[in-house]
Amino acid sequence: MSDHAFWDDARRYLVRYGGGFTPEIIARAEGSYVWTESGRALLDFTSGQMSAILGHAHPEIVETVARGTATLDHLFSGMLSRPVVDLARRLAATLPSPLEKVLLLSTGAESNEAALRLAKLVTGGFEVVSFARSWHGMTQAAAAATYSSGRKGYGPAPVGNIAIPTPNAYRPDFLTPEGGLDWRRQLDHAFDLVDAQSVGALAACLVEPILSSGGVLEPPPGYLAALRVKCDEREMLLILDEAQTGLCRTGNWYAFERDGVVPDIITLSKTLGAGLPLAAVVTSAELEERAHERGFLFFTTHVSDPMVAAVGNTVLDVLQRDRLDLRAAELGERLRAGLLGLAGRHEVVGDVRGRGLLQGLELVRDRTTKEGADALGAAVTRRCLDLGLHMNVVQLPGMGGTFRIAPPLTSSEAEIDLGVEILDRALGEVVSEAGATLRE
């Protein structure tokens, strides 16, 4: 099939599900690169869909999948296999007490759906609090708790969902005397609004420790601990969605470790399967027992599937053996230093933020006003692709173009440096070509 026929078929037969498609036909992927059919190598600074933490086609993952498809791929959902129980035990060992009960599923949305269903059952409530820049998935309860995009045109969301302000140090809404973000006052105000809207049926607060799709926004140190107190005061559960931050990406095994907070429930996905569809819900034995007594039901086609559970075990093998938490911290420092260098050379770089190998770089039209630069972000993304770097830019109203930069944890120092160099060149060329029109 010719390239022309391929794109004709794509336009004719594919449902468009958000944004446009990258104008390249991808033929294969390995390590930190994907290759087009034309033979171009693209350095992948998004780890696929923020998932392939071990890079593409990691030989141990390939071996596990080959063995699994040949011996134990899929079972009736009521059957158990050793890979499933092994992964549950090993995941629990990576988490603080009392998190030890594991439900293995397929996607991040599904894991959040299950977590919210469990929380509603054990609390008897139905109200869910989430950040106004959140992204938790596209299934019903997860989508209802997602506010960054995708809410318009689908009719009413389920009742009981409440948004609270997202702490954003670069664009503070509550100010300290020094002009920084007064996050404690913001949080107090947020829960004043929660209390005003609640009908007395609060079930859970579902948040990301670092909001990725919302613009790589990290709550300040101490925020999650204060949020934990707010939840406890209202007898609601704290659910942390670590789809993109869990399993070493931030330089810690879990992003919440920095704040010394233990959630009631944690959800994992993307990074757990290193690119394959594997997700998990982890909670305490006490909450699991209460849910079970009340008839908790989440019986799905691919719950406790053995092959992807075997992949999850291999992911843990590699992360632990190769100390990829430390590697992510080291490479993250290198990446951040490179991005700060770009900020020093390009006036359009307004902010650099993030942790480990999840970094955000926000473009602005003016550093003083912090006016967003959506068009510039899109243009730089296109130029990076021309130069051999795949990037992802978030474009949300009022935020400008923010790059989500998440290379594989197995990246080399040279690959990190190359990505920064290409981004540097793309920024320079696009700004130069645009000239004064960027500020008109």
Task: Give the model confidence (pLDDT) of 180-219 as tens digits.
Answer: 999 999 999 999 999 999 999 999 999 999 999 999 999 9
- pLDDT tens track for 229-249: 999 999 999 999 999 999 999
User: Once rounded to an integer, what is the mean pLDDT over residues 147-163?
Assistant: 93
User: Once rounded to an integer, what is the mean pLDDT over residues 310-326?
Assistant: 98
Q: Where are the domains of the chain?
A: 3-58+323-439, 72-321
Tell me the catalytic residues. Answer: 135, 208, 241, 244, 270, 404
* Helical (H) or strand (E) element with 325: helix 324-345
Question: What CA–CA distance (Å, rounded) separates 2 from 6?
Answer: 6
User: Once rounded to an integer, what is the mean pLDDT over residues 40-47?
Assistant: 98
- pLDDT tens track for 254-311: 999 999 999 999 999 999 999 999 999 999 999 999 999 999 999 999 999 999 999 9
Average pLDDT in the chain: 96
Q: What is the pLDDT of residue 438?
A: 46
User: Once rounded to an integer, what is the mean pLDDT over residues 355-360?
Assistant: 98
Question: What CA–CA distance (Å, rounded) separates 394 from 372?
Answer: 11
In CATH terms, 3-58+323-439 corresponds, of 2.60.40.10, 3.40.50.1240, 3.40.50.300, 3.90.1150.10, to 3.90.1150.10
- pLDDT tens track for 367-410: 999 998 989 999 999 999 999 999 998 866 655 589 999 999 99
Burial of 28 (0-12, 13-18, 19+ CB in 10 A): exposed
Q: What share of the chain is helix, strand, coil (3-state, %, to 5)?
A: 40, 20, 40
Domains 3-58+323-439 and 72-321 share a fold: no
Quote the pTM value.
Answer: 0.96
- CATH code for residues 72-321: 3.40.640.10
284 forms beta bridges with: 99
Q: What is the pLDDT of residue 397?
A: 61
User: Once rounded to an integer, what is the mean pLDDT over residues 92-112?
Assistant: 98
| CA contacts within 13 A on the Cβ side of 123 | 24
Residue 439's pLDDT band, with cuts at 50, 70 and 90, is very low
Q: What is the pLDDT of residue 18?
A: 85
Tokens of 217: 């926004």
Q: What is the pLDDT of residue 331?
A: 98
